[in-house]
Structures are given as structure tokens and as C-alpha cells.
Structure 1
Amino acid sequence: MDRSLYEKPLYTDSTFPIRISYEQHRNNRVLFQNHWHEQLEFLYIIEGRAHIRINSETYEAVPQDLFIFNSNDLHYGEGISNNVSYYCMIVEPSVLHNNFIEDYQTSTALERYSSSYILLNRHIKNDTVINSFMKNMMNEQQKKEPGYELFVKSIVHQLIGYLIRNHDSKSLSSQKYNMRLRNLNRLNKVIEYIDENYNEQHSVEEMAQLANLSTYYFCRLFKSATGKSLVQYINDLRIEKAHYLLMNTDMNITEIALQTGFTNVNYFSRYYKNTKHISPSSMRKE
């Protein structure tokens, strides 16, 4: 399982670089793992309640909320209610340019956005115009009538224009943008290393050195990016690995604990129960 923070969305049609999906989660705590990408992403809540974390900010999501993940925003979703469903639309910046856009002010705004320096408002609630945009987009996606791609692109253009005009957006300087990207790439190296060596012991100093950062700055950056300390992140990863072994192998609990990097079986059992709200032995019986 690749736990790299970086995710590159896959498009089945290069002429239509917009990916739209309907996601349903039943009794799943994690809706999507912490990750980032260059593309712009819209997440529109249909049913249920969730916590959505964008960078270091956590928001409570309810139906008709729109979340916008700007280019290189770290984002993570966790269900609060048992049932959560939402539409997800991922858009390549190139979609914002076409031969029909000739107005100078509009093309300038889109050029600024495509350079990834404009940050759109990340959480919008109770906006009837946006609700209409999203419903029209969902309708086009579901029916897929001839020319639906053009309608979807048109809705994306209108939505971006409406957001820039009616909801606060911020500009990010080239220097800050590049620094942010460098930090994300540094963290990627650490996350990938931990994923490959999760059952070994790791110190903060070792990981800071791997990221080429001071210990102090690494701890701040890691917590801001993942929402967890290094120790908590590693233990949570070990629990996910242990859960898989628990449900898919005949290994006993002691073997699983040691296999996934826990040196104390009692500590493993307590941590597992605190995380999963059920003991390892009870989980296996189910």
C-alpha cells in the first residue's frame, strides 16, 4: 500500500482531464488518506457528517457543503456518521484554458489560477448558486448525453468564476508556493521511508535528517501536514498493518504485534483498542 502523501490522479481520456466520482462510505472511519496533488479538487457532501482536514485546519462537513482543495493542499477525510457520501471532482489546471476565452480580465484571472498561486476559499456553506452548479454537474455526469463534456467544462468555468467573484480568494507568492512544494516533497521522502520500514524503530532526529530539516522545524511541519506527531503516525500505521494481518492471516496476536513493530504486546492491545474501539481478540472473533 503506497502511503506517499503525493497522489497523481489518473484520467482515462486525455481530452477530458476532469475526473468525477460518486463516493459512498458505510461504517468507514477513513474516507481518504492524507495526500496532495497539483490538481484542483472539489468535494461536495451529499449525505452524512465528516471531518475534513485541509493542511492544519479541520472542518465539520454536512450535506451541501463544498470543500475546495487547492493545488498542493494536504487533505484528509474522516467520517463522523456511519453513512457518508459525496461527489468528488478533480480538475487539471489546463481545463481552465480554451480558445473561446478571449476577454482580457477573465484570461488573466485564469492564467493566475493555472500558475497555482490563487488559493480559493476552502469551505463554503449554504450557497444556493453553488448547489445549483454542483447539481447540474452531477446530472450531466450521470446521464452522459452527447456533448456532456462541454457542459461539464462550462460548469467548471462558471464555478471558478463565481468563486473568485463572490468568495474570498488569496494570492500566494511564487516564493511561498515553491517553499510549500519543497516541504511537501521532503515529507514525501519521510512518509515513503516509514511505509517501507514501519516495523523498525525510528527517532525524530533520524527522520529530520532524512528530510534535511532541523528537528524543531521537522516536528512542526510533520504535525501540520499529517495532524499527528511522528510517534502517533508510525503507531497508527502499524495498527493498520496489524489489522490487515488480524483479519487475513492465522498469526496469533503476539506474532502480529512483533511483526508490525510493537515490542510490547500489552501496549499493542491497548493502542489497538483505543484506535479501533475493540480489542484485537474481539475483532478476530467477529
Structure 2
Amino acid sequence: MSNPKELHENTRLDYKAYPVQVFNNFCSHAKTKDCILYLHWHEHFEIISMRQGHAVFHIDTTPYDVKAGEVIIIPGGSLHVGYALEDGHVRFDCVVVNASLFNDFLHDPIHVRYVAPYMEGQLRFPVKPAENHPAGADCYPLLDEIIEELVARRPAYELIAKSKLYTLFVLLARTFMPLQFTEKSAEPYFANRDRYKKLIQHIESNIGEKLSVETAAAEVGLNPFHFCKMFKRLTGRTFVDYVNLTRMNEAEKLLRERTLTITEIAGIVGCSNPNYFTKLYKQYKSMTPSQARQL
């Protein structure tokens, strides 16, 4: 899995002219509660097609239970993270697409009416389309075709993927727009999301800094009780658990680079006591730092 620092709103798509890419994710022998998709966000849409296993994806403050064969749509800018819900292999495909892929249609009045509201964030597709309307699942075979094109990369696959993706969005808009226009405007997914983004970025940019719950709560303008409650809803982990996980992920990366001693790495990730660092690393990575370095 990628380090969270590499995923801060800068998920790079290979071809700027056609900003769409598929990421095939496979977590071998995942354990229940293992993190299978680290907390991150980006400006792109993300569509996850679950292929194998059972997981929960937290999108902003809401958890979504996802099984093999199901699809979720993550709006651009949403914080999201995933955890295994049972032991075993977990496999899922992520199609990441930037709204600029459809800039050719900006002056098309039909596009402006039906698709642009979703691309610009005025409306949101249901995270689990098939649960909101039976027709939502009708688009899943089309998504499989898109993934197949992006993986095979045959000549002009970009055009095929683009046309099919546009068809996918149009079909979803056709299904859900009439329903959404008849409902009251939904509340924002997470009003303090930007403050939490800054806090998470601060944690990952200052990996060894001691940061108390009280200080973190003050950064997002909440009292410690509500901060801890909202942080758990957002990430699926307590604040302390998330900080420790982030530090151990950084330690894992440094151990692989083999340029620093284990004691030096412990200090960098905020563990002044090497014995405590070893205990913490084993808790999160199921092996000691020495064993990780041997691998």
C-alpha cells in the first residue's frame, strides 16, 4: 500500500490529456480490521468495484459495508479509508477520474443540465447506487468494460474508456437526478472536513511531533469529547490509534530504505524509547522492526 503522504490530494494520473486510471488493489491474507485503503482524499472521482472479500469504507463520516460484486462512488474531495471486515484476501479495483476528462462538453447545454451538476459537486451520486435504485446496478457491466479497457490498454483505449465513462455518468444522472430534485437539499457530508484535512496533513508532515488530543481538538475548533467522536466517525479509528498507525507506516518505509538504525527510526517517528517502539511496531505490523528489516 502507498504511504499516506503520497496520497494527499495529489493522486497523479499518468496521462493528463485523458485523466482516468485504474488501480488494482490486492491485500493478501488480510485480517479483520486491517487497513486496506489508507485515509486520503483527492480532487478526482473514485469508483470502487469490490472483487473479493468484505470491507467497510468510511467516506467522510459515513461507513459503507461493501461485499464482492458491489460498487461505491466516492465524490471528489471526500476523505475515505477502508478496513477489512473479515479474514481473507481482499481485492478491489479503483477507477479514478478527474472531471476535466469531460471538458469537451462544457458548452453543450445537455451536458450542463445533466452531467455538469455532478462534475461540479452541486449534486452527488449515491455512494451505493444499487441500494438507492435498482437501475443503479444496470451500470455495473459498463464499469467492468471500462476497467477492462484501462487494464488491457489496446490502441485508442483512452477514447473507449472516456466514451464509456461518460455514458456511465449520464445513465446515473438519468436515474438519480429526478429523485434528487424532488428531495430537500442534503446537508454537507462533513462540515468540518477541511479542518480535519489540515490536521491530518499536519500529523503526516510532522511525524514525530507529540500532539495531544486537546491540541488536535483545538485545531479543528471542537472540544475533546466531540473531536474524538467525530474523528472516529471519519476515520474508523481513534485519534491516538490513527497517529500510531501513521507513525508505524512511516517507520515501515524507513526500515525498507535501510539507511538509518532502528533506534534512529524510533526517534524520527516520535518514540524516544526503542523498546516501546518495538512493542508498538509489532502491535501494528505483526512483526518486530528487526524482522521487518530482515525481510
TM-score tier by shorter-chain length is 0.7 to 0.9
Deviations 1:15-73 (A, max 9, x none): 21222233333346433211112221111122333332222222333222111101222
Give 1:269 shift: 5.1
CA contact (8 A) 1:120 1:170 kept: no
Identify the residue that residue 72 of structure 2 maps to in structure 1.
Answer: 67
- In structure 2, list runs of 5 or more residues that go unmatched: none
CA displacement at 1:115 relative to structure 2? 1.9
Tell me, what secondary structure is at the counterpart of 1:23?
strand
Which of 158, 181, 187 aligns to 2:167? It is: 158
Tell which deviates more after alignment, 40-49 or 240-249: 240-249
User: Does 2:135 correspond to 1:98?
Assistant: no
Aligned-pair CA distance for 1:246: 5.6
Q: 1:214 to 1:5 in 2, by over 3 A?
A: farther
Partner of 2:93: 87
Is residue 191 of structure 1 aligned with residue 232 of structure 2? no
Map of 1:102-251 to 2, 5 A cutoff?
102=108, 104=110, 107-124=112-129, 129-166=138-175, 176=188, 180=191, 183-211=192-220, 213-216=221-224, 218-244=227-253, 249=258, 251=261
Q: 1:119 to 1:238 in 2, by over 3 A?
A: same
Q: Show CA shifts across 1:117-174 (max 9, x none).
A: 2121112459652231022212322443444333222221221222233358758969
In 1, Cα distance between equivalents of 2:235 and 2:47:
20
Give unmatched runs, 5+ long, in structure 1. Answer: none
Quote the Cα distance in structure 2 between the aligned partners of 1:231 and 1:272: 14
> Residue 52 of structure 1: which of 39, 44, 57 is its match?
57
After superposing the two structures, state which structure 1 stretch, 130-139 or 2-11, moved more. 2-11
Cα distance, 1:9 vs. partner?
Answer: 2.7
Which residue in 2 is equivalent to 1:36? 41
For residues 222 and 55 of structure 2, what CA distance do their matches in structure 1 show?
Answer: 34
* Structure 1 residues 145 and 232: alpha-carbon distance in aligned structure 2, compared to 1, 3 A threshold: closer
1:244 Cα offset (Å): 4.6
Question: Which moved further from structure 2: 142-151 or 35-44?
Answer: 142-151
Inter-CA distance 100–27: structure 2 relative to 1 (3 Å threshold): same
Which secondary structure state, in structure 2, belongs to the residue aligned with residue 116 of structure 1? coil
Q: How far apart in 2 are the matches of 1:145 and 1:285? A: 40
1:183-227 C-alpha deviation (Å, 9 max, x unpaired): 33322332232223333322223233444x133454444333323
3-state SS in 2 of match to 1:32: strand
Percent identity reads: 26
Contact 1:5/1:191, CA 8 A, preserved across alignment: no
Q: Which amino acid aligns with 2:165?
A: V
Looking at structure 2, the residues matched to 67 and 267 of structure 1 have their Cα atoms a distance apart, in angstroms, of: 39
Q: For 2:193 and 2:98, locate their aligned partners in 1 and report how far apart those are by CA, in whole Å.
A: 19
Aligned-CA RMSD value:
3.7
**Cα distance, 1:257 vs. partner?**
4.8
Which SS does the other structure have where 2:82 is aligned?
strand
Amino acid at match of 2:54: R
8 Å CA contact retained: 1:5, 1:188? no
